[in-house]
Amino acid sequence: MSALDYKSAAIVAVVYVCSLLVFYAVYLELFTRKRVLKSLPSAGFGKGFFNWSRASVRQVLVAPETVEQGYKQVGIFYKSKHSYMVPHSSFRPHVMLPQQHIRWLSRQPESILNPEVVRSERQGINFFPIKSHPKTVLMAAHKVITEAINQKLDVVQLQMYDGIRQAVDTGLGTDTEGVWKEVPLVDTLSTVLDSAVSRAFFGANLSRDGSFLHILRLFIVGGGVLTELIGQLPVGFLRLLVAVPFNLFTRATKEICAAYYLRPEVYKRIAQIDSSSDSVGEGYDFITECIISIRKLKFSLGTDEVTFVTDLLMFLALAGVVSTRTTTVNTFMDILGPQGTRQGTYLTLRQEAESILKSETDWASADALKAMVNIDSCMRESARKNPLQTRGLMRQVMPKDGVTLPDGAHVPQGTWLGIPVEAIHRDENIYPDAREFDALRFARMRVEGQYNKSLDASEPSDTYMFFSYGRSACPGRWFATRVMKLLIAYVTVHYDMKPLPEDAERYSVGDTKFHHSTVKMALRRRKLD
């Protein structure tokens, strides 16, 4: 082929790619324009050429600010109960409902407002590498969490404590010579949580297997991108372009975990159950409980039992580790940050833990954990201040003739509705000094008998939606908060920590927020009697 032919081919390729990009940009502009409801107040769209698309692109970096801007423009919802519309980085605009409509939203049947449709797209469930239908896995996960974890938390707590003690001692060190050392806060706590959660899910052997934990962390990275970021990318070509390689990466790491580590364990448990072995009843084993719960399901698994169990275990590990890891990091950032330091939070939490956890048996006591109201308050306050998502309780309108909202606004079929979670958590009318970290805010409410029926960190309300709300509330929240409470208590009792010099910066990618991973914490092991 001559040089002229190569040049012509290159020109044709460039023109072809540019044409595709232009058509894709026009498609996204029309996709967004079609879904914007002119009858509702809006925020963040702006004016001018391709304003709908430009507004959507901006949400990659400014989504929280846009949602809060709309919240303020429409008026604090205790005074102005009206919905409003905001752009989203997916190019699918969202309708945000006022705080007063949360209960109405949560009570609507799926035939009217469907969360599953939104979850599949927004959380990248359709790209997650599982062999059964995603809805089947989600229903099974809910049943397993309820039966195998929530109903047996008091039994599981001893394993939680054992896993946390082992993980913290390994990750933070046991040298009591009084030497301070610096470690990366995010990476260290993430590693500790990975091992601790794995102890409860996979047993002592796998939770201490470095090779398994390494592959599991790679799987969690890939799965985290699929579930947290893919749904925030523009619909169509770009989303597929990013999702496919991460799907392949996540699939590969999942298959390695399953083939070399989990499937042998599952086969062993199934053999024990089928042979009615007495060893099945010796202590708590999550994999065994998982198999027993799955065998009670009334619907088809869509694949063989071993594959379904291993897929489910990996899915639960991802869900359990990602949210618990992020929440724990946020909490320690707040405790050690300037606001937490001025309040003497670390010492307050240590004193509470030492006064309650006086022996090894106390660490396995559910009553002991319930008594630690200051630690619980600190966790709830950090969760209030740092919600995992800017907006929540997302639903899609299903009826062909649309839905009329409580404020009288009519929204057509296909519209996505939700709640501005972070804006509500920062509402000064609900929480005085809402932007400040007040570690004992909820502990004082218990004493003063204020409006919340339950102030536990695991209990959602229409003003505290860290774990969502109503039927959509996270079923694993009791497990997550118990792990966190044990971890905070163990660390504060056994380690001194220096305050962080400044508040750690958080940055947003769409609706999801992250901490910079370069923050370091200085610590030393205490000498205890």
**DSSP assignment of 504-527:** PPEEEETTEEEE-TT-EEEEEE--
State residue 54's pLDDT score. Answer: 84
Q: Domain 130-388+420-525 belongs to what architecture? A: Orthogonal Bundle (1.10)
Helices (H) and strands (E) in the chain, counts: 21, 12
Known binding positions for heme: 474
Mean pLDDT over 219-228 rounds to 88
Convert the pLDDT of each residue in 137-192 to its tens digit: 888 888 888 888 888 888 888 888 988 999 899 988 888 787 899 999 988 998 88
Query: Can you point out the beta strands (E) in 325-413?
Result: 392-397, 403-404, 410-411
pLDDT value of position 450: 53
Backbone phi, psi, residue 428, to 5°: -65, -25
Neighbours of 47 (CB within 10 A): 7
In this prediction the pTM is: 0.90
Output the six-digit token pair for 304.
Answer: 């063989």
Residue positions in the annotated binding site?
474
Mean pLDDT for the chain overall: 87
Distances (CA, A) of 35 to 40, 46, 68, 92, 241: 12, 16, 21, 7, 24
How far is residue 14's CA from residue 2's CA, in Å, rounded to a whole number? 19
Q: What is the pLDDT of residues 438-470, one digit of tens each?
A: 999 999 988 765 544 478 889 999 999 999 998
The domain locations on the chain are: 1-110+389-419, 130-388+420-525
- Cβ atoms of 288 and 279 within 8 Å: the answer is no
Region class of 287: left (phi > 0), else alpha (psi between -120 and 50), else beta: alpha
Condensed to tens digits (0 to 9), the pLDDT of residues 303-346 reads 888 999 999 999 888 888 888 888 999 999 999 999 999 999 99
- As given in the structure block, the two tokens for residue 422 are 């972070």
pLDDT at 451: 45
DSSP 358: -
